Structure 1
Amino acid sequence: MIAAAVTEPFSLPVRVRYVECDMQGRVFNAHYLTWFDMAHTDALHQVTGLSYAELLRTHGIDFVVAESNVRYRAPAHYDDRLDVVVAFDPPTTSSLTSRFTVVRDGTTLTEGMLRHVCVDAAAFTKAPWPDPVREALAGYAAGVSSERPSRPT
């Protein structure tokens, strides 16, 4: 089952835990990639109507990270309430670029991206996105505004 068209950007709320902070009291850099992955997984579920496991089982595909990037604009701290906003670029034949914005109170703290490549779940060789998945992802990419929250001053 593929979910109906989504017109609002997916946003994952995150509350910074003490364990995610470094000795300077700021979120340690690697945790942003974890949050990106969490938001990506939940956004895919919302857009396709299928969990990660159901996507694999139903369509015989998996996806692997081929590229990642994080740009830090301002720090997050313990107990901050953040939103990780997800936007997808239109999918290519076998890849998907997801763009992330980490926001606190309307201010962008971090921007990043993940590029996933679709692979055959058994052979782990590059594979095209199944048509229903590609259509759902393309619909999300086209229907969600690409406006980003404000940057810190």
Structure 2
Amino acid sequence: MTEPRKPIIEMPLRVRYHECDGQGIVFNANYLAYLDMATFEVERALFGSHDEALAHGADVVVAESNLRYRAPCRYDDELVVSAFLNHLGTTSLIIDFEIRRGGMVCTEATNRYVFVDPETLRKAAPPASVREAYAAFLPVQED
């Protein structure tokens, strides 16, 4: 039996009026902003803050995003954005996101991030302390 994935964070979010388009639905680009907000919450959960993550010698940049919209979100909806570590590579990581309203998954997303040196912003393997912090949330692999 496979155990359910453990989220790194679950971030509550209420849709604001200005995030909606003329159809009254959250404008698609705003979902990327929600993912960005959740990514900073991941850093807060793992390191205490974004600045502390930088002090550990690592930062991340988005290399790829993929979103699947399953149901529309609207003004004043109460959402929860969950972040799950999918993959931890040598210089990159993949985080899966779910945006839920109540028990319904409204949006599924995946971001691939590349680790960069905070000083040079060039791709670099993260220090061991950063890898260990993320690795604690890797899915359990069954044989």
Whether 2:31 is the aligned partner of 1:32: answer yes
TM-score, scaled relative to structure 1 = 0.82
Aligned ranges 1:33-112 → 2 under 5 Å = 33-46=32-45, 48-56=46-54, 58-112=55-109
Match of 1:118 among 115, 120, 127: 115
Partner of 1:124, secondary structure, is coil
Quote how far apart the aligned CAs of 1:136 are.
1.3
Question: Aligned residue pairs: how many?
Answer: 135
One-letter code aligned to 1:26 = I
One-letter code aligned to 2:17 = Y
Quote how far apart the aligned CAs of 1:16 are.
0.6
One-letter code aligned to 1:51 = S
Partner of 1:38, secondary structure, is helix
The percent identity for this pair of structures is: 46
Partner of 1:22, secondary structure, is coil
Which consecutive aligned stretches of 4+ in structure 1 deviate over 6 angstroms post-superposition?
none
Quote how far apart the aligned CAs of 1:60 are.
2.8
* Contact 2:58 2:130 survives alignment (8 Å): no
Gaps of at least 5 residues in structure 2 are: none
Match of 2:133 in 1: 136
Describe the shift of the 1:119–1:55 C-alpha distance in structure 2 as closer, same or farther (beyond 3 A).
same
Partner of 1:141, secondary structure, is coil
* Contact 2:56 2:129 survives alignment (8 Å): no
Quote how far apart the aligned CAs of 1:8 are.
4.5
TM-score, scaled relative to structure 2 = 0.88
1:71-101 Cα offsets, whole Å, 9 max, x none, are: 1111001110000111012310110111111
* Contact 2:66 2:109 survives alignment (8 Å): yes
* Contact 1:90 1:137 survives alignment (8 Å): no
Quote how far apart the aligned CAs of 1:109 are.
0.5
Quote how far apart the aligned CAs of 1:62 are.
2.0
Quote how far apart the aligned CAs of 1:125 are.
1.6
Q: CA RMSD in A?
A: 1.5
